Amino acid sequence: MSEYADLLVHGGDVLTVDEAGTFVRSGAVVVRDGEIREVGPAEELRSRYEAAETLDATGCLVLPGLVNTHTHLAMTLLRGRADDVTLQGFLERVLRWEAELLSPKNIAAGVRAAIAESVRAGVTSALDMYWFHEAAERVAREAGWRLHTGPTFMDEPDPADGIAYEDRMAWARRDLADRATARPGTRPVLFAHSTYTLSPDQLTDIAALAREFGALLHIHAAENTTEVATVEVRHGRRPVELLDSLGLLGPDLLIAHAVDLTGPEIAALARTGTSVAHCPVSNLKLGCGIAPVPRLLSAGVTVGLGTDGAVSSNTLDVLGAVRQAALVHKAAGDPTAVGAEQAVRMATLEGARALGLGDHLGSLEPGKRADLIVLDLNAPHVRPVHNPWSTLAYAAHSADVRDTVVDGRILMRDRVLTTLDEAAALADLEALA
């Protein structure tokens, strides 16, 4: 007797990334209504299920889609325009260009290209902090891609979206109220840019609004020593100390970067259940330093991986960030710092947990959303596979991703995008660049 499935991904070795690290050789994933129904041996599941659509993953690795926990997608518009500068020099330039360039139409073009790049790289969702988030959401919906976004707060005289600071609270409240029926696997988000672009009172108000709606609050903090010194001079406290003193640390806060941290700050993040989005490529490129990830992990802090925007890291390649995360912390002399499995988990289950979505995303387990990727192992640089974590962290490239599935829908099959007109997206981007 056959049971019905919408999609059967079968024949590949399945790295579930569940708590136990279950690895099913020649396995299958059964998908129905956008949700994972079962994971198990391919032979058994093929005989039990009648599937409307199938992906033959023989000779491939099947794993959860990668989660980008910190990015600014539409910054693809500015890729390559601010290289080899300091964070502060970078911010000055970017803010000037944004004022000239940004509109809902241009944001849509930048995001469309960013989603095409992400789907190709096996990234199935991203936390995207940027202006005109409604335009980004529209594009993501058309592409069938999972976007975590919401209103951004940054107190500056000429915000790119033209919404004055005093009007932003009411605008954000309307936005959150409209999200009462969120798509499964997403949650409302509010973005507070940083402790140097918002006052303590503003931060407190934004956090209160986030809590009222059960939204995730996301902020850049402690990205480099200059930022920390600036905030310390202005407010008498370092960024994470300031957030702690305002009562903003907690399980609903995700901090991007967290490079310049003291021991007591790491302890405060652990004590409060605050998560961190580690962006190793951006931090290296901007000379910000190396986040104390081994210490964060041993303190019990949840750490996800982010690429940051395509101006500061130049790619949205999360697998590239996995490799950096697995390598850069060893530079201090300890090759056991951030192992391959830890780095892959940061890009999957831990990333989902950092967003507060660990029950819905980040591993291939029944009841979770069917966000998964198929990585082709039919190439010399990924053979043999003695250990799939090692293959992913140290050998595979994002271009090895063959198929990308979000919510059970195939967005890339055999390296061809099925929901996005890639040529048109690139032509639009070029026209603006």
Shortest reach from residue 308's CB to Zn ion, in Å:
5
- Closer to Zn ion by CB, 309 or 388: give it: 309
What phi, psi does 67 have (nearest 5°)? Answer: -110, 120
Shorter beta-carbon distance to Zn ion: residue 31 or 311? 311
Considering the complex, state which of residue 203 and residue 392 has its C-beta at the smaller distance from Zn ion. 203
Residue 279 to residue 204: CA distance in whole angstroms: 26
Taking the complex as a whole, how short is the minimal distance between the CB of residue 66 and Zn ion, in angstroms?
Answer: 18
Q: According to the binding rule CB under 5 A, does residue 98 interact with Zn ion?
A: no
* Minimum CB–partner distance for residue 393 and Zn ion (Å): 23
Q: Smallest gap, in angstroms, from Cβ of residue 93 to Zn ion?
A: 15
Query: Of all residues in this chain, which one has the CB nearest to Zn ion in the complex?
Result: 308
**C-alpha 372, offset from chain centre:** 14
Q: How far apart are the first and last CA of the chain?
A: 56
Residue 228's Cβ-count burial label (10 Å; 0-12, 13-18, 19+) is buried
- Residues between 288 and 317 that touch Zn ion (CB under 5 A): 308
Q: Which of 269, 266, 204, 195 is nearest to 232 (CA)?
A: 195
Q: How far is the CB of 146 from Zn ion (least distance, A)?
A: 19
Q: Which is nearer to Zn ion, 216 or 393 (CB)?
A: 216
Q: How far is the CB of 309 from Zn ion (least distance, A)?
A: 6
Cβ distance to Zn ion smaller for residue 62 or 347:
347
Comparing CB distances to Zn ion, the nearer of 255 and 417 is 255
Nearer to Zn ion among residue 312 and residue 398 (C-beta): 312
Rounded least distance, CB 377 to Zn ion, Å:
33
Of 223-282, binders to Zn ion (CB under 5 A) are: none
Q: What is the DSSP string of 147-177?
A: EE---EE---SS-TT---HHHHHHHHHHHHH
Residue 13 vs 227, nearer CB to Zn ion:
227
How far is residue 232's CA from residue 242's CA, in Å, rounded to a whole number?
A: 9
Q: Amino acid identity of 158?
A: D
CB of 119 to Zn ion, least distance (A): 21
Place of tokens 């330039």: 93
Size of the site for Zn ion (CB under 5 A): 1
Structure tokens belonging to residue 433: 């660049």
Cβ atoms of 316 and 347 within 8 Å: the answer is: no
Q: Which of residues 66-95 bind Zn ion (CB under 5 A)?
A: none
Q: Which residues contact 155 (CB under 8 A, 6 or more apart)?
A: 165, 197, 198, 199, 202
Within 13 Å of residue 295, how many CA atoms lie on the same side as its CB? 16
Q: Which residues bind Zn ion (CB under 5 A)?
A: 308
